[in-house]
Structure 1
Amino acid sequence: MGRILAIDYGKKRTGIAVTDPLQMIASALCTVKTYELKKFLEDYLNQEEVEAIVIGEPKQMDYTDSELGGVINAFAGELKEKYPQLSIERVDERFTSKMAFQSMIDSGMKKKQRRDKGMVDQIAAAIILQTYLDKKQRH
C-alpha cells in the first residue's frame, strides 16, 4: 500500500501533505514554489511509493471554477498523462485556507508563526488530504 499525496496548488506556493504508508494519518509535508512543483513530484515519486495524488479543487460558492481552476485542471491532466499508474483525485478545497489558519490559532501558534503563508498552505493540503481519507473511509 502506497502513500497518498495531497496538493494545495497556488499561484506562487503549493502546500504538500502526505499520508503514512498505511494511509491512516494525513500530515503536512512541505511547501514548494509552484514553478518547482513538477520537479518536486518527480523526485518524491522516485523515492516513495505513492498510490494516489489528491489535488484541491478550487470552487466559488456557486460551484463554478475559481480563477486558478483551469490551470489546476490542466495540471491534473498532465499528472494523469505522466503517471498513469497513479490515481489522480480531486477534492473541494473551499475554506481550507481559513480552516488551516483557524487550526493554527487553536493549536496555540504565535502570531508571528501564523504569518507564515507556507505553513498555511501545508496545513490546507493536510485538510484536503484528511477530507479525502474521510470520504474514502465512508465508502
Structure 2
Amino acid sequence: MRAEGARRAALRVAAVALLVDGLGFGVFVPVAIASIAQGRGVPLVLGFPTYGGGPFAGYGVPTTVPLLLAFGAVCLLQGVAAVLVWRRRPSGAVLTLVAVALGAVFWWGFALPFGPVLGVLAVVLVLVGWPALAQSER
C-alpha cells in the first residue's frame, strides 16, 4: 500500500511539472504572436527574447506566427496532460509522452532552458506512477 501512495504522489508532482511547464511557456505565446504580427519582432521578457535567438534562428528558421501557434498548441497539450495525469487517467500518461516529445523540439529550437528539466521530470514521474494509472480505471 505504501508503494501505491508513492506512485500517486509521483503522478501529482508530474502533473504540477506539466502545468508549470505548459503555463510558464504558454503564457507568453499570445504576447509574442501579437508582437510579431504587428511587425515588432520577438518581445523581450526580463531582457531575454521570449521565443527567438535559439538554434531555430541559427538555422534560418525565423520565429513566425505559425511556429508560435504550434508551440502554443504543445503548451495546451501539456496542460491537458496535467489534468489527466492529476486524475490518474492512462490517456494523460500517453499524452505526457507525446507533449514532452513535441515540446522538446521547441525547447531546443527556442533555447528554453527549463522546458527540458520539467519535461524530463514529468516523464520520469509518470513512468514511476504508471501502475497507479492502471488501477484508477478499475
- TM-score, with length taken from structure 1: 0.28
Q: Which has the higher strand share?
A: 1
- TM-score, reference length from structure 2: 0.28
Compare the two structures and name the one with the higher helix fraction: 2
